[in-house]
Amino acid sequence: MSIPRRLLLGAAAALAAPAVWRSSLAQGTLRPTPAQTEGPFYPVEFPADTDGDLLVLSGRRYGRGQAAWLEGTVTDTAGRAVAGAAVEIWQCDPDGHYHHPGDGGRADPAFQGFGRVMVGADGGYRFRTLRPAPYSGRTPHIHLKVRLGARELLPTQVYVQGDAGNARDVLWQRLRGEDRAALTLAFEAGGDALRARFPIVVRA
């Protein structure tokens, strides 16, 4: 007895499905970096100096806190560099104050507090800043935003691996395990400053 053609085709499709699934899995896509709230202290007015070195302002080097490099790449979910994107960071000074009217104008005027860099052709970005400091109710963190032209691709926050304040921080605690791992960085000794690497993946 001959087997109907449609059954043969159906069986072939069923056998092929795992191979297609394996091929898709092998090609894969990168997991987007978890988003977090922008928070209340994104600058209302940008400082005169908005470059990637937050420790030099008006030609004067900032001497408080622990200097740190924050660097990485910005890629899309296929692993391609998002050249031309802008990465912004902002954070409080060592005493826990932001350059923002909502923080009462108490921030140290010698600390730049905000920086913006353009992503290179290789997707790379780099900031020289401070190991983040805590303030009332929050563990140390740095706010970060990625833009591409007029589009905002990502607002998020990065944290310090091993900081005792993490366990008491509501936003850090709300993160799922894999999201927490993606946003919690090791600030490691290296040369003239600590170094933390933060690869960013966006849907571009």
Residue range 78-104: mean pLDDT, rounded: 96
- For residue 1, being part of any structural domain is answered with no
Instruction: Report, as an integer, the average pLDDT of 168-192.
Output: 96
Determine, yes or no, domain membership for 16.
Answer: no
The number of domains in the chain is: 1
Determine the pLDDT at residue 20.
Answer: 31
Cα–Cα distance measured from residue 110 to residue 127, given in angstroms and rounded to the nearest whole number: 17
The domain of 148 spans: 29-202
What is the distance between the alpha carbons of residues 93 and 76, in angstroms, rounded to a whole number? 32
- What percent of the chain shows pLDDT beyond 70? 86
Query: CB burial class (10 A; 0-12, 13-18, 19+) of residue 65?
Result: middle
In a domain? residue 182 = yes
Instruction: Quote the CA–CA distance of 138 and 166 in Å, as a whole number.
Output: 8
Q: Is the pLDDT of residue 2 over 60?
A: no
Q: How far is CA 98 from the centre of its chain?
A: 19
Both structure tokens of 37: 């709230």
Distance CA 145, CA 72 (A): 14
The verdict on residue 46 lying in a domain is yes
| Bridge pairing between strands 188-190 and 60-61 | unpaired
- Higher-confidence residue: 76 or 21? 76
The mean pLDDT value for 24-43 works out to 82
Tokens for 113? 């507090």
pLDDT given for residue 28 in this prediction: 52
pTM of the full structure: 0.85
Helix (H, G, I), strand (E, B) or coil at 59: coil
pLDDT in tens, 46-55: 988 999 999 9
- Residue 194 in any domain: the answer is yes
In a domain, 196, yes or no: yes
Asked if the structure places residue 19 within a domain, the reply is no
Structural domain contains residue 160: yes
CA distance 91 to 125: 17
Read off the CATH number of the domain in which 89 is found: 2.60.130.10
| Count of alpha carbons within 13 angstroms of residue 126, beta-carbon side | 7
